[in-house]
Amino acid sequence: MIKVKRQTDPELAALVDEELNRQEHNIEMIASESTAPLAAKTWSFKYAASQEFHDIMAQVIVNAKCLAEELQKYGFRIVSGGTDNHLLVVDLRSKGLTGKTMQNALDAVGITVNKNMIPFDPEKPGVTSGIRIGLTAVSQRGLKEPEIREIAAIINQVAEAPEDEANLKACKAKAEALIAKFPLYPAGSFDD
């Protein structure tokens, strides 16, 4: 603690008071800024404990397993034979494709995946022999098994001709029609 007698050194006392006021103001700003992450965490933990969140996460697993099964029917190999979580890694070698080619083609039609290395991948990391697909986002939007089967069919159609612009355009129209049924912000989301 700093003690300055105002009568002895009024200039120093004024400087100390000024600095203390500045620091006090900064502390108030820091405290108010740190409440936003705290509020976000509080909301997230509350939501994670809800039945709604539990139901969505259960559907994510159902959708991932459904997509794995459907892609296998189309001749894709799923690394590890299936999935027990929200992700699946697809080996594209049976289709004669690389992860890079498939990622770019699916991106062109509006389906987001990532090129991904597979065990003992003969391709370079920038090319890969696989793709990784996550199902959380589509599950949160409300898609269920019938729609996941449609997505699998679109992925297969893209794989049949990933560089054919007419094919990609047709696949994009199908993907857009499907996702339009599940808007990111349903009507009334922002009504007070």
pLDDT tens per residue, range 52-111: 999 999 999 999 999 999 999 999 999 999 999 999 999 999 999 999 999 999 999 999
User: pLDDT at residue 6 above 60?
Assistant: no
User: pLDDT at residue 189 above 90?
Assistant: no
Measured CA to CA in angstroms, residue 88 lies from 1, 40, 131 at distances of: 60, 29, 8
User: pLDDT at residue 32 above 90?
Assistant: no
Q: Identity (one letter) of the amino acid at 95? A: K
Average pLDDT of the residues of the chain: 89
Farthest-apart Cα atoms in the chain, separation: 90
pLDDT of residue 5: 58
CA distance 89 to 80: 8
Q: Region 19-31: what's the mean pLDDT?
A: 60
pLDDT of residue 13: 72
DSSP, collapsed to helix, strand or coil, labels residue 127 as coil
pTM of the model: 0.79
Contact 69, 149 (CB under 8 A): no
